[in-house]
């Protein structure tokens, strides 16, 4: 069986430069750039689409062709995202999990059939089928590739997003106005459970694996996560301060390297509060469907960097070049989307060389 194409020397380089980046001491961007051998079948995007009847080791075996076919350039490293859907804590707490493959893969959550009207029951269940499944798959990946692979946290979700899976989005929006004390109670309970699930998974992944990561390929030797609150697109800064900021501050205090997923222009009004969180290390900018790409948001990206935060974007090669020409690359992590045109080593090397030459911060 072929093994992953990544040497101990590669790991030393990646870990050294990532630590310098976290410390603000790397005078260039981190660049995640990966390619693949042609003709290798890709596994499902969502691991929920492998039925619960499939043993965890059999699920992991679906990656035994794909992982060795990957090529890692720049600051990329072997990484697997435990993708069970956005906000899987809702599934751990008993929400119904809906996983589909057509017309495209996705996962969503709906309230339990027996949920009392107007209430959110937040109870840890060690025997919850999805909680056991995620732990089993995490452990199977670590067993199969010990010390060779970063296995990410699953997408745990944000506190309001998780509560919305029980109340529905429309009902929770009304609750934020009519029942703020209940919303505070629900989200604070969610935060406590979130931290428990994070630590339990971290105990499986980090000691036996290779550092930690989340649903974005950012590496840390300690505890890291891409925090989020997609529900916040629809609420005011005052509500964000009341319902979301305590959760983010608690999670940031718990993590060694915390990031926040700023998703769409509706979240921009919350940016100043995010920049004020001392232990929040960085902000990921996602413009959203139909919006201009990240390279067209130079003022916003500059505001994040001037606010003292690192910044991660998913970007086409030309977008990364535009950013480094105008803002410099220091403090950025570019995850390069390239549709296969940079799969070959010589093409990847040419792009990385050009990016270095045009970086005004270099």
Q: At 103, is the pLDDT very low, low, confident or very high (cuts 50, 70, 90)?
A: confident
pLDDT 10s digits, 171-202: 999 999 999 999 999 999 999 999 999 999 99
124's tokens? 């840890």
Taking the model in full, what pTM does it have? 0.95
Summarize the confidence of residues 329-338 as an average pLDDT.
97
Summarize the confidence of residues 7-22 as an average pLDDT.
97
What span, in angstroms and rounded, lies between the C-alpha atoms of 222 and 271? 26
Question: How high is the pLDDT of residue 118?
Answer: 65
Domains of the chain: 8-358 (3.20.20.210)
Sign of CA dihedral 34, 39, 40, 44: positive
Q: Tell me what the pLDDT averaged over the chain comes to.
A: 95
Q: At 116, is the pLDDT very low, low, confident or very high (cuts 50, 70, 90)?
A: low
What span, in angstroms and rounded, lies between the C-alpha atoms of 291 and 222? 34
pLDDT 10s digits, 244-268: 999 999 999 999 999 999 999 999 9
pLDDT 10s digits, 61-88: 999 999 999 999 999 999 999 999 999 9
Question: How high is the pLDDT of residue 100?
Answer: 86
Question: Which contiguous run of DSSP H or E holds residue 51?
Answer: none
Backbone angles phi, psi at 99, to 5 degrees: -120, 125
Question: How high is the pLDDT of residue 104?
Answer: 85
Summarize the confidence of residues 141-147 as an average pLDDT.
94
Question: How high is the pLDDT of residue 207?
Answer: 83
Specify the higher pLDDT residue, 362 or 249.
249
pLDDT 10s digits, 42-66: 999 999 999 999 999 999 999 999 9
Residue 261: how many other CB atoms lie within 10 Å: 22
Question: Which contiguous run of DSSP H or E holds residue 108?
Answer: strand 106-110
Q: What percent of the chain has pLDDT over 70?
A: 99
Question: How high is the pLDDT of residue 274?
Answer: 98
- Residue 24, CA distances (Å) to 19, 20, 212, 215, 311 in order: 9, 6, 19, 22, 11
Q: For residues 153 and 213, is the Cβ–Cβ distance under 8 A?
A: yes
Question: How high is the pLDDT of residue 362?
Answer: 75
Q: At 153, is the pLDDT very low, low, confident or very high (cuts 50, 70, 90)?
A: very high
Question: How high is the pLDDT of residue 101?
Answer: 84
Summarize the confidence of residues 231-248 as an average pLDDT.
98
Q: Select from 179, 144, 183, 147 the least CA-distant residue to 163.
A: 183
């Amino acid at each position: 069986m072929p093994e992953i194409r990544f040497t101990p020397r590669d790991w030393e380089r990646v870990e050294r430069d990532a630590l310098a980046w976290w410390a603000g001491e790397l005078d260039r961007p981190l660049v995640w750039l990966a390619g693949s051998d042609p003709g290798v079948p890709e596994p499902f995007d969502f691991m929920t689409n492998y039925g619960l009847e499939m043993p965890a080791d059999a699920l992991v075996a679906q990656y035994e062709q794909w992982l060795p076919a990957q090529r890692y350039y720049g600051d990329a490293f072997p990484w697997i995202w435990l993708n069970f859907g956005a906000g899987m804590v809702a599934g751990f707490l008993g929400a119904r999990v809906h996983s589909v493959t057509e017309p495209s893969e996705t996962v969503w959550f709906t309230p339990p059939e027996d949920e009392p009207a107007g209430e959110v029951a937040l109870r840890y269940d060690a025997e919850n089928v999805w909680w056991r499944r995620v732990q089993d798959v995490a452990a199977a990946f670590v067993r199969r590739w010990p010390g060779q692979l970063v296995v990410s946290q699953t997408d745990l979700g944000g506190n309001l997003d998780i509560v919305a899976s029980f109340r529905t989005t429309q009902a929770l929006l009304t609750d934020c106005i009519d029942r703020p004390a209940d919303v505070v109670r629900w989200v604070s309970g969610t935060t406590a459970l979130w931290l428990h699930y994070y630590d339990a998974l971290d105990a499986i992944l980090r000691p036996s694996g290779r550092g930690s990561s989340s649903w974005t390929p950012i590496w840390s030797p300690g505890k890291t996560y891409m925090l989020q609150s997609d529900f916040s697109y629809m609420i005011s800064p005052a509500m964000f301060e009341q319902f979301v900021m305590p959760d983010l501050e608690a999670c940031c205090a718990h993590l060694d390297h915390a990031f926040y997923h700023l998703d769409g222009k509706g979240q921009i009004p919350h940016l100043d509060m995010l920049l004020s969180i001392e232990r929040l290390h960085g902000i990921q900018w996602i413009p959203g469907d139909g919006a201009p790409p990240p390279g067209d948001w130079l003022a916003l990206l500059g505001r994040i960097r001037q606010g003292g935060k690192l910044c991660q974007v998913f970007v086409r090669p030309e977008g990364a070049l535009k950013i480094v020409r105008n803002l410099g690359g220091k403090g950025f992590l570019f995850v390069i989307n390239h549709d296969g045109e940079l799969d070959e080593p010589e093409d990847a090397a040419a792009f990385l060389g050009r990016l270095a030459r045009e970086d005004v911060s270099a």
